[in-house]
Chain A
């Protein structure tokens, strides 16, 4: 059934219409009738309610006859001219052995292990040349460095940035790096401070929390080293410090209040405006991660503050502290843009064009859609720096919805889906597995429904969703 009835408050009833990607306010008896139909009831009184909507062109049956991503037909041309970002796996090694790392051989994730392999200069040059030659129609190019730990090969990072700037003029060039922060020393900070680079440092919170998982190979906690480097940058390279961000992984059984308070105070290293909070990835693992109620209390408390800030009900905190939640709230507006009808040939939302906005290159020069995929996955390998894109493979990766076509065609969350190639890949098969992909659906639908409710609630308060009025 391509619709979803829902409530925001006990006496406010709505239905989401997939075909028109629209939300309608409805009466209680209509809500109850549609709910009955969703639950499999075929009473005439309920069916008549649905028919009344359908007579007005609403809540129509799904018009979709084929699942195909709209970029499929012109994919090779888009990839020929619009690639705007490349991420290099600088090394498969790391000086840490974090407990939750997919590469730490901890039995949680199916992925490669740490190895001594580093990327070589030829691969980097070929990657940069590839990016430049495949970005004729874009105005902003981004080069990012990932790992393992990219700072294991610091000189290559600097050389790559210099090479990139030599290859292109007249376009905005930016750089990024994700690092554990332990090797972010003064000499590197001095060298990169003149580049347009943003650095994401993995920092899980106060010392006790951080050191629980983020340890050196010998078991020592890494907090002191990270803290020292960040403070040094703060004191000596203020411009670079402004470009630091933090990635905080929250693992189950953590002291959540302590983590949030650490950043709320903003006294130590960074405040909430610089932090992305993430739970453990659910990709490439059979494990279930159970987060206690206290985590959701803390997390939802922050999200609630974001809503109150936007509605003008809370003034004590900077808007920037809640940038992530606010971006999420605004993304609802992009998702829920009413349309006159869903095209007959369509694809669920949630998937980007592999290689376009993000092209991940491993140490051997192989192409993957992003850094979150399993590098052992033969499904996800889509070319290399020497031969370019394997367009047929990219096309298969892109059309993740086609493997579950009969389910997706009739799914109410078609335009709200968030299943991407990485989340649909089990890492074992040559092609997408229908059953594996479907196993992700319930969670995705639950999140989509929550987003619908939150968006609707904001509209109830007549929030105008004007981005220019927020200072992020």
Chain B
């Protein structure tokens, strides 16, 4: 498969949005959400169905599609057979999808978590941005509160810019960027060999340094009409922001795509994105910056 067109492709605008769905109680809700985003971003829409094609299903879908009112010129239905995860990932690459929308439960049971559900497996491996919707609705709820992970990473500037693009389209006036501060071994180190003031100074210097880095990063972003709030939370990367988004009732959490392909060991020794996927605090947008 030629994926050269994907390389260096910017993470926005969302020219092509895909939604993957199967027969489920949330099917209709998910399709309404897909229409909402396709209309909002003026995107082409791919409706990818995981399952065998038959006449009865086709009729049901036609009725549903007409009821939802998809733009027929810009919408295409793809039926797929085979392993859902692999096929959806391949179809996204083949069709140069910019944003893949999936429905996801907030929390999987232990077995599913370790084995990996389709939505989460796709999120770990997709070469495009992925929007996981925890509570899709036939009347899509307006996203008002967005929190972005401001981790020090080359991808973050793209993630922030994509969030700004998203916010402008959704008419959101304010974004929050959260910086997670994790200092492994810090407690142990200061416990035996630092005075209280020394420990506070070390901590303060580190926080200041991190804050400067984030401000430097935001300076590179294009955000003239949007107000940006910066927050600092202590804790392990992934868990800290997930917990923050949950307790502060955010509607959407935006994060970078994983730096490396996440596997079984990453679920055993949970870290970063895996903390978020283990218990989704709200809707999740994973931005694949393709850099």
A binds B: no
